[in-house]
Amino acid sequence: MRPARAVIDLAALRQNYRLALELSDARALAVIKADAYGHGAVAVASALAKEADGFAVACIEEALELRAAGIRAPILLLEGFFGVDELPLIAEHDLWTVIHADWQLQAVERATLARPLQVWLKLDSGMHRVGFFPQDYAAAYRRLLASGKVSGIVKLTHFARADEPDSPATATQIATFRAATEGLPGPTSLRNSPATLGLPQAAGDWVRPGLMLYGVSPFATPQAAAERLQPVMTLTSRVIAVRELPAGEPVGYGARFVTAGPTRVGVVALGYADGYPRHAPNGTPVAIEGRPGQLIGRVSMDMLTVDLTDHPQAGVGSEVEFWGRQVSVADLAERCDTIPYQLLCNLKRVARSYRD
Ligand SMILES: *Cc1c(COP(=O)(O)O)cnc(C)c1O
């Protein structure tokens, strides 16, 4: 079998969830959209089922997959429903829904539902993606209450720049949220991962940690609470061929790397079709049998090359880590001009296994 593997450490996942609870002193919805950021939504939800206050996903398809797998905890649809035909299913499967737009509010007002809905009413406090404008929020809230179709309303907003500790934008969003929701009863939810880790002043009744659950810091610079996260996914594969080249020889597509001196090149079974970034430059860190090493040459679809010159003990069959405890996926993302979210979500074809 092809040796590319992603091992998921479920004990580390639970530790990270507990850290979110500890830091927030609130209830926490574990955000497991996009197949739990590539970690496997059903496995992640099952591992957290005993302790999680609830889960959050992007759409009803993701929620129904969890219900079908026996997950009974609350599940929030972060973008609510995309069509009115989802409303009966939302009631039937006891899902929680965001309402972020007037058409959704009207649909709830007009719906005939088997039971009232638990709604998270979204405020656009400055990100300008979805949500009611501050001046429209209280009216939307009152219409929902008056509809008789809801069992509770959580007041919700989302931060655009909480991963930038020096940005004043988040304080402005918090102030906008407090002003727009003032006097409206019910619980609140403001914090995503960066805000859970770094913004106690954004206190609320619910936090919504995503990336931090997977043990990855959302910050570009070291941050005290983020130091306590434990990486959950370790992506590895193995060396499948070794060649010794003299100086001046090209390696791989486009001859992006040319040997400067005698070089031992290791070919590893992992490529961009597995989700490893094609834009990883020469010198990108990897770990070869537990020791620091480097990528050389362009990443191809199913293979890539590493420098084994300083790893004489390594050969065919040696394990290479691409991210995990030794190689930070956040660091890799930065070198590839992307974010760890995208690298994790892009993982595919690689065999996943779980450790507890
Ligand atoms: C994805 C998402 C989150 C989680 O964000 P992280 O940065 O991964 O913690 C929280 N809230 C909403 C509305 C989201 O869409």
Catalytic residue, chosen from 17, 33, 37, 141, is 33
Choosing from 17, 158, 192 the residue with most ligand 1 atoms within 8 A of its CB, the one to mutate for a pocket test is: 192
CATH architecture of the region 233-355: Beta Barrel (2.40)
What is the Cα–Cα distance from 112 to 128, expressed in whole angstroms? 31
Identify whether 253 is a catalytic site residue. Answer: yes
**pTM strictly above 0.95:** yes
Give distance in angstroms: CA of 31 to centre of ligand 1.
7
Question: Which amino acid belongs to residue 263?
Answer: T
> Which residue CA neighbors atom 14 of ligand 1 most closely?
78
| Ligand 1: nearest atom to the Cα of 208 | 10
Q: Measured between alpha carbons, how far is 240 from 43 in angstroms, rounded to an integer?
A: 30
Q: What is the pLDDT along the chain (356 residues), one digit of tens a residue?
A: 999 999 999 999 999 999 999 999 999 999 999 999 999 999 999 999 999 999 999 999 999 999 999 999 999 999 999 999 999 999 999 999 999 999 999 999 999 999 999 999 999 999 999 999 999 999 999 999 999 999 999 999 999 999 999 999 999 999 999 999 999 999 999 999 999 999 999 999 999 999 999 999 999 999 999 999 999 999 999 999 999 999 999 999 999 999 999 999 999 999 999 999 999 999 999 999 999 999 999 999 999 999 999 999 999 999 999 999 999 999 999 999 999 999 999 999 999 999 99
Assess whether 33 carries a catalytic annotation: yes
Pocket (CB within 6 angstroms of ligand 1): 31, 33, 78, 158, 192-193, 208-211, 218
State the pLDDT at residue 157: 98
- Whether the CB-CB separation of 108 and 87 falls below 8 Å is answered with yes
Q: Domain segments of the chain: what residues?
A: 10-216, 233-355
Residue of 29, 37, 78 to test ligand 1 pocket, by largest number of atoms within 8 Å of CB: 78
Residues in CB range of 110: below 8 A, 6 or more apart: none
Q: How many angstroms is it from 272 CA to the middle of ligand 1?
A: 26
pLDDT, position 218: 97
**What contacts 142, CB < 8 A, 6 or more positions away?**
none
pLDDT at residue number 192: 98
**Ligand 1 centre distance from Cα of residue 209 (Å):** 6
Report the pLDDT value the prediction gives residue 329, as an integer from 0 to 100: 98
The residue ranges of DSSP E strands in 160-316, in sequence order, are: 188-191, 206-207, 233-245, 250-251, 257-258, 263-268, 285-288, 291-296, 304-307
pLDDT for res 158: 98
Question: What pLDDT, on a 0 to 100 scale, did the predictor assign at position 67?
Answer: 98
Question: Rounded to whole angstroms, how far apart are CA atoms 76 and 58?
Answer: 8
Fold observed for domain 10-216: TIM Barrel (3.20.20)
